[in-house]
Structure 1
Amino acid sequence: MWKNWAGDQACTPAAVVRPSAVEAVQEAVRNAAGQGSGIRVVGAGHSFGDNVLTSGTLMSLDSLTGLLGVDATAGTVRVAAGTRLHELNQLLDARGLALANLGDIDSQSVAGAISTGTHGTGRTLGNLATFVEDVELVTADGDVVQASEAGAGVLEAARLAVGSLGVVTAYTLKILPAYTLRCEQEPAPLADVLERLDSEVDANRHFEFFSFPHSDTVIAKRTNRVENVPVGRAAGQDTVTGPAAVAGKVKAYLEEELLENTALDLVCRLGRARRSLIPRLNRLATDLVSPTVRTGRSHEVLVTRRSVRFTETEWALPREAGAEALKEMRRVVTARGLDVNFPFEVRFVAADEQSFLSPAYGRDSCYIAAHMYRGMPWQEFFGAVQDVALAYGGRPHWGKRHTLSADRLAGLYPRWEEFQDARRRLDPHGLFSNDHTRRIFGA
């Protein structure tokens, strides 16, 4: 039996294959097609929906990893699709390179993260799919194609396709020279942050905040590039050599581990056991936060270790609607007396003009994520969040929970039919379909 990271999605496939070469991927695809069974591809299992569940063939790309090439002149790298993001970050850093942005976890496979629309935060920065220059696919007939050479619209469809066009075996990605970031985190009044929200987003390379439903204090994070600063600098230090540097890193790790994992897990456990305590625990969680500063390589600063298990829904809204939508989501939690012991996470992403199914397609976007701690009922809360998001023009994150089907989704994406055309051309018989893709894309 296969289970996802959250532990709440499971399936028992007829076969599990782990190809370590593109030729083995081709063979597995042809075998599945010959047997008349479906095939789904899994990365790290960090999607929260039933994206990869199958009774047919489940393909893991865990053995298809590594950096396949670097083109310094073009500013691109070629990477195998099963490579974990944290592995890619290390491979790039060893060569003095980095991605322009990251989400806040790096456990996903490159293909899983890109194919579902994973993003970070930053008003000038797109989601990970916007870094894609080309996609290598094994299509339903077992052929290997480069998306950029496969016909009009295929690359734009393949950048973000939820595994429905074929097996992605490699990407060509845009990269940057390695750079240093400084992140300042502090508690702040929610009203103040919302009042100056546009200026906060515009003034920082990365801005995000976390808002517990029953607390009027948020946790705000401002992250910016710094030049000529030694990597690993700790707050208040002028140098980073010797024991001081080590102590600074240990201090930063302990603060992050205690506040964002150990303490949060304890607060959530208490809330699950005594739900009447949740409003007070929300306020306690923000009271525990003190101002911190963290400086380091981009991937060290942007990524946070997450050990607390939860499930999640997330919605991309027009940037200008973000503040009002968050207010309404918080209001609904209070009005309905919903037991919510996790914060809303609010981030900002530049418009994506390159991926037909990007939730940020054609507009600068505010992403609002809502979470529920493991073992707690999430359906009513997520349904309420979905209703509010849709009222403000929201589009769902493809790797998170939502209940929309193709008839509703078609109206949210201006390039929907062009994506469907690419899907019909590359997978005419639905080899890469399952119940999830049939719901969101149609049969």
Structure 2
Amino acid sequence: MSQTTAAATWTNWGGTARCTPTELITPQSVDELADAVRTAAASGQTVKPAGAGHSFSQIAVAPGIQVKLSGLRGLISVDADRKRVTLGAGTHLHEIPAILEPLGLGMANLGDIDKQTLAGATSTGTHGTGGAFGGISTQIRGVTLVDGTGTVRVIGEDDPDLKAAALGLGSLGVLTQITIQCVDAFSIRAEEGPGEADETFSTFLERVENVDHYEFYWFPHTTKTLVKTNTRVPRDTPATGPSDLRRYIDDELLSNKLLGALCKVGARSPRTVPSINQVVGRALSARTYTDRSDRIFISDRDVRFREMEYAVPLEAVPDTLREIRAMIDRRGHKVSFPIEVRAAAADDLMLSTASDRASGYIAVHRFSGDDVAASEAYFRDVEDIMMSHAGRPHWGKMHTRDADYLRSVYPRFDEFLEVRNRFDPQRVFTNPYLQTALGS
């Protein structure tokens, strides 16, 4: 039976969005959810699922009824012949490896955080990196959702509406089931090491073309980068590399605890940030290790931050980075967090940031304890550069773009709006973010 409670104030992980819904419901079945949506529509209320709260934008803000999908999670069915699984939409990404491992399957690609729900990650366009691989939404082969009339819609891979529903911003309905195209389980050989910024920028396109999963981090105020080269290898490849203790020291103590401490110092005294980054850049070291794919893709992120990420045409990445570097120097921003750079293949989803073009992703961050006005100024300056390259903002990360701009960079934008008009004519699933981004 669906649980309905008075809702407390909800805040996302990054502290960039909050709301106090009128009520919180936790449906235990699709029928219960459909009843709740019909009731809300009849009374003029809005409905919004919140996922795990790992979006930095306002996309999950629920002015009306907030939906928690924890009652709709886990494995629903397996199609072994086609290597597909159907999962409850409230399943968290970190729960999926344990489901797939006994089946000899894995997800084709993942981002570097696994705290999100499957519905939240795919609805906002969460992605990893790899020039031949798309975001998680491109792995979807079917969904079930409750639309704005309370109708349960089953959308299969041959239904053209799937190109909207696989990455729908939560604007078409509440997802309840998602069918994922998996691959045979595989491992990854990870090679990490320091690089020089000019060379790393210049060779980005070549490395994306020749490496399965390539990404790097550039430390502002330095010439240093951390380069990550991930190569797919057979699943039975023995795990190698640093011990569990060594990886704990590197990934938890150095990447999280030490980073957090240094960011706090920089927040209190911004003038020290360039010097701190120089020390961090010089301390980078190389390591190589092999493990199951999800264990390589995923990294712990304990230090709270705010994030903006844009997708630009792949070939524009080197010049865009050089412009950001020059802007930071010119404007005097003090940026303690590294800039993350990744890539993805073109896809055919209507609102994917890689829709109809191979894309490079440039993510900029500010520590949550940094001065808010300074952080916002930095994001505005970065956003100006991104727009000059026809950039598309990640739907789940901070940006200020509206429907007029988004229509200019998404060739299928109005086609998506037509689907939305059919699925949610009363705008039961709207909120202020969607009103701005989609225009109504």
CA distance in 2, matches of 1:163, 1:107: 18
Who is 2:329 aligned against? 334
Taking structure 2 as the reference length, the TM-score comes to 0.95
Who is 1:159 aligned against? 166
Matching residue within 114, 119, 127 for 1:111: 119
1:370 aligns with 2:364: yes
Aligned letter for 1:195?
S
**Contact 1:252-1:294 within 8 A present in 2 as well:** no
CA distance in 2, matches of 1:98, 1:285: 34
CA distance in 2, matches of 1:403, 1:111: 23
Matching residue within 12, 15, 19 for 2:20: 12
Using the TM superposition, name which of 225-234 and 408-417 deviates more: 225-234
- For 1:82-161, list aligned pairs within 5 A: 82-148=90-156, 153-161=160-168
**Contact 1:43-1:108 within 8 A present in 2 as well:** yes
Cα distance change of structure 1 residues 79 and 279 upon mapping to structure 2, 3 Å threshold: same
Who is 1:386 aligned against? 383
Aligned letter for 1:31?
T
Q: 1:228: Cα distance to partner?
A: 6.8
Cα distance change of structure 1 residues 275 and 230 upon mapping to structure 2, 3 Å threshold: same
Aligned letter for 2:415?
E
CA distance in 1, matches of 2:135, 2:288: 25
Q: Which runs of 5+ in 2 are unaligned?
A: 1-8
Who is 2:350 aligned against? 356
Aligned letter for 2:428?
L
Matching residue within 395, 399, 404 for 1:402: 399
Aligned letter for 2:328?
V
Who is 2:301 aligned against? 306
Q: 1:395: Cα distance to partner?
A: 0.5
- For 1:71-82, list aligned pairs within 5 A: 71-82=79-90
Who is 1:174 aligned against? 181
Using the TM superposition, name which of 163-172 and 1-10 deviates more: 1-10
**Contact 1:116-1:397 within 8 A present in 2 as well:** yes
SS of 2:261's partner is helix
User: Number of aligned pairs?
Assistant: 429
SS of 2:42's partner is helix
Using the TM superposition, name which of 160-169 and 61-70 deviates more: 61-70
Matching residue within 186, 189, 197 for 2:193: 186
CA distance in 2, matches of 1:18, 1:66: 15
Give the RMSD, CA atoms, in angstroms.
Answer: 1.4
CA distance in 1, matches of 2:28, 2:229: 40
Deviations for 1:262-288, whole angstroms, at most 9, x for unmatched residues? 111111111001100011111122222
CA distance in 1, matches of 2:236, 2:42: 58
CA distance in 1, matches of 2:159, 2:186: 36
Who is 1:61 aligned against? 69
Q: 1:425: Cα distance to partner?
A: 0.3
Deviations for 1:126-165, whole angstroms, at most 9, x for unmatched residues? 011110111111011111111238x964111111111000
CA distance in 1, matches of 2:393, 2:301: 22
SS of 1:77's partner is strand
Q: 1:94: Cα distance to partner?
A: 2.7
SS of 1:94's partner is helix
Deviations for 1:104-123, whole angstroms, at most 9, x for unmatched residues? 01000000000000000000
**Contact 2:308-2:363 within 8 A present in 1 as well:** yes
CA distance in 2, matches of 1:374, 1:63: 31
Who is 2:216 aligned against? 209
Aligned letter for 2:379?
F
Q: Which runs of 5+ in 1 are unaligned?
A: 236-247
Cα distance change of structure 1 residues 356 and 131 upon mapping to structure 2, 3 Å threshold: same
**Contact 1:136-1:144 within 8 A present in 2 as well:** yes
1:291 aligns with 2:286: yes
Who is 2:59 aligned against? 51
CA distance in 2, matches of 1:116, 1:410: 17
CA distance in 1, matches of 2:358, 2:297: 20
Who is 2:6 aligned against? none
**Contact 1:205-1:225 within 8 A present in 2 as well:** yes
Deviations for 1:222-279, whole angstroms, at most 9, x for unmatched residues? 00012375443225xxxxxxxxxxxx12212221112221111111111001100011
CA distance in 2, matches of 1:193, 1:339: 22
SS of 2:70's partner is coil
1:29 aligns with 2:37: yes
Who is 2:264 aligned against? 269
Matching residue within 431, 435, 438 for 1:438: 435
Cα distance change of structure 1 residues 87 and 194 upon mapping to structure 2, 3 Å threshold: same
Who is 1:426 aligned against? 423
CA distance in 2, matches of 1:113, 1:177: 22
Who is 1:240 aligned against? none
CA distance in 2, matches of 1:186, 1:49: 32
Aligned letter for 2:168?
A
CA distance in 1, matches of 2:183, 2:159: 28
**Contact 1:18-1:60 within 8 A present in 2 as well:** yes
Moved over 3 A (4+): 227-231
Indicate the percent of aligned positions where both proteins have the same amino acid: 39
SS of 2:142's partner is strand
**Contact 1:69-1:78 within 8 A present in 2 as well:** yes
Deviations for 1:60-114, whole angstroms, at most 9, x for unmatched residues? 1122110111111112110110000000122112322100000001000000000
